[in-house]
Each structure stands twice: as C-alpha cells, then as structure tokens.
Amino acid sequence: MGETHKVRFEPVGIDIEADEDETILDAAFRQGVMLMHGCKEGQCSACKSFLLEGDLQMDRYSTFALADYESDEGFVLLCRGHAYSDLEIELVNYDEDMIRSGLPVVTAQTEVESIVALTHDISLVRLKMTDDSGLRFHPGQYVDIAIPGTEEHRSFSMANITVAEGVLEFIIKRYPGGKFSSLLEGTLSPGDPLSVTGPYGTFTLRVSSDRRLVFIGGGAGMSPILSLLGQMAESGNEREAVYYYGARTENDLFHLEEMEELSRRLPKFRFVPCLSESWPEEWPADGTEGETGLVTAVLERCEPHLTDCDVYLCGPPPMIDAALPLLESLGVPKEQVFYDKFTITAAAEE
C-alpha cells in the first residue's frame, strides 16, 4: 500500500481518502461515493473531471476518452488517476443525489443456481450468494463477474430489484466465443462458484422526477430496465411509462408474461415490442401493441414530443449510438437521458 491522501470533489463538497496504489474512482467506490462512470478502463470519458489542485498521475488511457489538448488543460480520467498528494477535483458530469446514495463496492462469492435459455442466444442466469459480504445494489446497477481461471471479468446488470432473497438475476446474451457468455452453453453448471464485485453504475431511477418515462432497449438490455420497472411496481410508482423493446423477429422476444404482469401492476405502463427483420401478417396480435422497424425509427415515429420525458436507454452499442443524436435532435435535454456506456470492444467480446 502507498501513502493515503485526501481528495475533495467540488462543487458537491465531498471528501474521500485515496491510496496511491488505487485509482481515485476505485477509492470513491470503496467509500460508497458513486461518481459518474462507464467502462472503468479509460476508454469512455464518463468519469472525466478537472484537476483544480494537487499531484495526480494517470495510467494509460485512450485519447478517444481524453484528448491530448484536454489533458494539457487539466482534465483527467478518475478511473485512471492516482493521487500523489491531497487533491481538489471539479466534477464535470455528476448527479449529486446519486453520489450521496452510493453503496460501497464489495466482492462477494456466489454459486450458479440456474441457467435457463430465454431465446436462442439469451439466457436467464441466477447466482446464489454464498457469503456475508453485505453486497447491496440499487435497481439498474451492475456487477463485474470474474471469469473463472483468468484475471478478467465481464459486467452484467441485475434484472431483479434486491438481494433480499440471496439471489442475483441476470439476462445475458450469449456470443460465439464470448469469454464469459460462452460458458453458459454447457461449461458452467449449478453449484459452480463465481466471484462478483459491485455495485457499479448510475443507470438508476431518479425518484425526485415526476416526468413521463420512456424506456428504450434491445437484446439483454432488458435486464436493468426490468429491474427499474420492478422497482416502480414494488413502490407503487404512478408515473406514466412506456417501454420500446427492439428485437429482430418474434422468436427474439421473451418475458412477455412478465411485461403483462407489470402492465397490471402499473396501470400507466405500456410495453411496445418492435420487430426490425420480420413483419408477420398477424403482428401485433389482437389486443396487444407492437411496431415494426428499428426501435430508434419507431421511437422517432411514435414519440415526437420527448422534451418533457426522462429517457432511459439500454441495449447494444449501435442502438445507443443511434439513439443519442436522435434524442438531441428531438430536443431532449442531456440531463434527462440516462444510459450505461460500455466500450465497443468489450461488447464485441461478450
């Protein structure tokens, strides 16, 4: 362990202690301060901040996340930065409510309880807690699952809303050759141990807002959105909400019964599946909603007035990359758009 230094975050006035051997972001996580972040690997710029005072040195990072001219001006990446003196840092992107409601990041031991195929390439994975680590999470957050026999991990969002029953649930897309997801096809079995670290992520419901909610997802991106909807149902939230879910064909749809149950529990909630590569003659079925086309095209067609909405995005990186400029063109303020930004490389490998 190296020396420990004080780090003060402005304009929120929060202090933490950071060891020289840990990144400032990890130090904040350890102390339950949930700063804005994404990849945690110096590739996405979500944790970019400005160094006001002190000696901060950074590990290697991508210049796509922090350009040389930004570094020269004093901008830093907290996921790469180490404190070598007391520091004063100005946060560029932050949500003070989220920062102050953060939960300490811990490593917990689990074992596989079950792995169930939901579609031809998506699985529901349940992990049972096997220790007393005290892991907790806010709906919408994620953990890093260690890949057995390696030093690597993959990040997955929880689909349930609490660990009260001692179980973490995940909706995971299986990729051919994926370093973790391929293990779901016969390698991992019930009883196998897995280590998880978290919680991470700021993709959480802003309960202080009463704006209409628009959820946009695709693939395994349903996982954290399902968690948020479950939180709303559990708390009796009465905000109007709609969920546009993009899939290629009807065979790629799943959890339809769960969506029906949420619609019963949330009278102001609508689920709208969107098919991009098939147009069945009886689509949508009688009495149900459904659209055709890419989910972003459906959004543009069906939701021309989004300026007074909170928009939550979760799905494949191309979907998010298409949705963000669309939302900007529709006049949605950036502070009303929420998403987890993962790197293309990590997504492609998993």
pTM (two decimals) = 0.89
CA separation for the pair 57, 5 (Å, rounded): 13
Given a contact cutoff of 8 angstroms between Cβ atoms, the answer to whether 192 and 201 are in contact is no
CA separation for the pair 111, 190 (Å, rounded): 7
The token pair that represents 41 in the structure block: 């690997």
pLDDT at 281: 73
Q: How far is CA 17 from CA 14, 45, 228, in A?
A: 11, 23, 32
CA separation for the pair 300, 311 (Å, rounded): 13
Q: For the residues 124-143, what does the mean pLDDT come to?
A: 95
Given a contact cutoff of 8 angstroms between Cβ atoms, the answer to whether 336 and 309 are in contact is yes
Q: For 48-58, give one letter per residue: b (16+ CB within 10 A) or e.
A: bbebeebebeb
pLDDT at 347: 40
Strand partners, 146: 153
CA separation for the pair 326, 129 (Å, rounded): 41
**77-81, 141-145, 211-215, 287-291 — which is least confidently predicted?**
287-291
Environment class of 10 (CB within 10 Å of its CB; exposed 0-12, middle 13-18, buried 19+): middle
String of DSSP letters for 238-265: ---EEEEEEESSGGG---HHHHHHHHHH
Q: Which residue has the tokens 């994975």?
A: 125
pLDDT-derived band at 207, boundaries 50, 70, 90: confident
pLDDT at 275: 94
String of DSSP letters for 158-187: BSSS-STTSEEEEEEE--TT-TTGGGGTTT
Q: Among 230, 182, 181, which residue's Cα sits nearest to residue 204?
A: 230
**42-46, 182-186, 341-345 — which is least confidently predicted?**
341-345
Q: Kindly give, in sequence order, each residue whose CB lies less than 8 Å from that of residue 55, ignoring residues fewer than 6 positions away.
A: 83, 84, 85, 87
pLDDT-derived band at 145, boundaries 50, 70, 90: very high
Q: Which residue has the tokens 């996982």?
A: 223
pLDDT in tens, 303-325: 989 999 999 999 888 888 899 99
Q: Which residue has the tokens 């689509």?
A: 283
pLDDT in tens, 252-297: 999 999 999 999 999 999 999 999 998 777 787 665 688 999 999 9
Give the number of other CB atoms < 10 A from CB of residue 130: 13
Whether the per-residue pLDDT at 346 is higher than 50: the answer is no
